[in-house]
Every structure is written in structure tokens, then in C-alpha cells.
Amino acid sequence: MPAGTQNIPLFGLHLGLAWILALFVAFSLGPNPALAGKPAALALDVSGTTKPAIDPFSELETKTPIELAPDATIEFLHYRSCKAITVQGGRLNFSSERYLFKGGKILETKRAECPKTVALSGASKIGGIVVRGGSGNKKKAVTGTTRPSFVLVGTDADGYAAIRISRQGNTILDAKLHGRSFIYPDAAPTLEKGEFYNVTLTPAGGGKPRSFTLKPRGKPKKYTPTLIRVD
């Protein structure tokens, strides 16, 4: 064997090639879904500077820390605990079960109704109750209030322009969507308790509308929207 030449064992060479192949496969497949963040809370109100920037009615995910400027505040609805929490300054983060906050102030904590989620495509249970959407399906109707509020969440949350609420083919309400949040207008007629209504979302780009069935059960006590997950 020539001087300065090392004898590399065949087993070690195979092991090295195996590691290279594993890394190649990992990068080829992209990010590991197990490491991706999952929705943990809904931002109800945001004031001041946050990093990353947070818009009202956007979802806050696990494994995505949020830095708040000293005078910045975030009010969020935590899915697991069904609490509305307002924090100021500091660093906010979420695990699968709880929220983690340090370096700032907790201004308010109050009980809230666990949000219901209407999953219009392939969404899994995040918090509260998930109902698979389906137009005209009374058995899968989501219960709400006689003056419902909705927030669109998910990857397609910004892709809808209008909402229609109808009953037996008669339109009760036809309104434009401005952002992700919809609050039932004061001037619109109150929905009847125990009846079935069809709620239809119209895409901004002219695609196929998406619908689900709503069954009001009582008057709204406070603002707890139904989450419409559109992935």
C-alpha cells in the first residue's frame, strides 16, 4: 500500500453512503410533517408591533414563537383551554396542550365557549367540535346561534368573497366578506331556533362554492365565532 494511504473498512464506507442516501431522501421529501406547527389559538385582536406580524382573526400555531414589543398586546382564544387571554409584551408560544408566555404581562384571562369548527375539506380536529361540512345534510348540521358569527381559517381562508344564508331555497342574507371575519348584521332578520339553514361561501376567483348546514339553537351570549376551516 502506498505511503500516506489509509485503509478504509468496507463497512465504514457502506455506512457513510447510507447516511448520504438518508440525507438525500430527507431533503427530497421536504419538511417533516411531524415537525410542522399546528393551529393552537385564534388571534381576536392585535395592537402594536409583533414579530412575526400577526393579523386579527389569524391562527397562532405551535412551534412558532411570537415576540411582542413592550406596548404590543394580543388577545387570543386558546383552543385547548377554551379561554380568551390578553397579553402584553414578552414572548408567546404554544405547545399542543397549553400556551407559554414569559417576559410580559397577562392583562386578562376569561372563560370562553369552545369554538366549533366546520371542516369543509380534509381538516382534522384541532379544538372544540369539528363538523364535516355538507350542504343539505341535517344529520351533520353545525349548531350555532340565531345571529351567527364566522371566522375563516386554514390555507384558503383569504380566498372567499361572499357569504349567503338561505332556507328552503329562499335567501335570508347575501353579504360580501371583508377579510376573514363575518359578524351577522344588526339589520338582518334573526334566524329561527331549531330550523335548518344552508350557508354558502363564494370564492373570490369564481371557483365552486362551498356549503354547510347550520341549525341555530339560541341567542348569542357573547362573541364566540364558528370557525370555518377551508384547506
Predicted confidence at residue 184, as pLDDT, reads: 93
Instruction: Answer yes or no: is pLDDT of 27 > 80.
Output: no
91: confidence class by pLDDT, cuts 50, 70, 90 = very high
Instruction: Answer yes or no: is pLDDT of 189 > 60.
Output: yes
Predicted confidence at residue 231, as pLDDT, reads: 81
Instruction: Answer yes or no: is pLDDT of 11 > 70.
Output: no
Domain 116-229 has CATH 2.60.40: yes
For residues 134-162, give the mean pLDDT: 85
Highest mean pLDDT pick, 64-78, 143-157, 172-186: 64-78
| CA–CA distance, 99 with 89 (Å, rounded to integer) | 15
Percent of the chain with pLDDT over 90: 60
Q: What are the domain boundaries of the chain? A: 39-111, 116-229
Intra-chain end-to-end CA distance of the chain, in Å: 63
123: confidence class by pLDDT, cuts 50, 70, 90 = very low
Q: Which is more confidently placed, 221 or 118?
A: 118
36: confidence class by pLDDT, cuts 50, 70, 90 = low
DSSP 53-86: ---TTPEEETT--EEEEEEEEEEEEETTTTEEEE
Predicted confidence at residue 224, as pLDDT, reads: 72
Closest to 214 measured CA to CA, from 176, 154, 174, 164: 164
Predicted confidence at residue 207, as pLDDT, reads: 82
CA angle 37, 43, 46 (to 5 degrees): 125
| CA–CA distance, 46 with 66 (Å, rounded to integer) | 12
43: confidence class by pLDDT, cuts 50, 70, 90 = very high
